Amino acid sequence: LTSRCRFNLQLQYKQLTFDETDRKDFLGQPGTVNAWYQPELNSITFPAGILQPPYFHPLWPASINYGGMGVVAGHELTHGFDDEGVQWGPTGAISFSECENCTGWMDETSTDGFNTMAQCVIDEYTAFCPLDPNRYSPNCVNGVQTQGENIADNGGIHAAFRAYRTHIALDGPDPLLPDRLFGQFSHDQLFFLNFAQVGSMKAL
């Protein structure tokens, strides 16, 4: 075996047999403009590449940063509680319940509440039919297949907006932006404008 293969095998063996998770282990490239949740590690990763405009800048008002990076953070956090995330326990292991009608670590009441919420999201997104049915089939969103991302998107923007409003309550509002274009918007509007800008960026 080459030394690189031997090293990778030893590393994989260590990861499989080590008692504790190495929280300093980093999967991915630091320059990646993305973030991800890993249920098996109960971990969220934010590479340095995403901690820059249009997601975040230390000199920007809180409204813009929360509308960008805050929504990304909320989205990834919510993945821990989407249709797949709820199946994992706090230690990163698949969690099985003794309750027949329960999901993972949740009791029956929590499972019922989760299922009601998930079905609401599924129904809402299944009703989205943005494509011309004469040209495309299927032309509607499959709410069952997309529920994980839809739950994370909804949870992310709600969590980020609540965190932003808490920030304002504790530290006070930022001054309005001084220029003609952006100075006409409130900070609540700037939060949603940056959310929309980040969400509608052209794929590279």
- Find out whether the peptide bond into 54 is cis, omega within 30 degrees of 0: yes
List 83, 84, 149, 153, catalytic entry: 153
Specify the length of the chain in residues: 204
| Catalytic status, residue 76 | yes
* Residue 152, CA distances (Å) to 27, 65, 110, 155 in order: 21, 18, 18, 5
List 76, 83, 149, 174, catalytic entry: 76
Q: Which residues of 80-118 are buried (b: 16+ CB within 10 A; e: fewer)?
A: bbbbebbbbeeeeeebeeeeeebbbebeeeebeebeeeb
CA distance linking residue 133 with residue 76, whole number of Å: 33
The sign of the dihedral angle between the CA atoms of 81, 84, 89, 92 is: negative
* Catalytic site positions: 76, 153
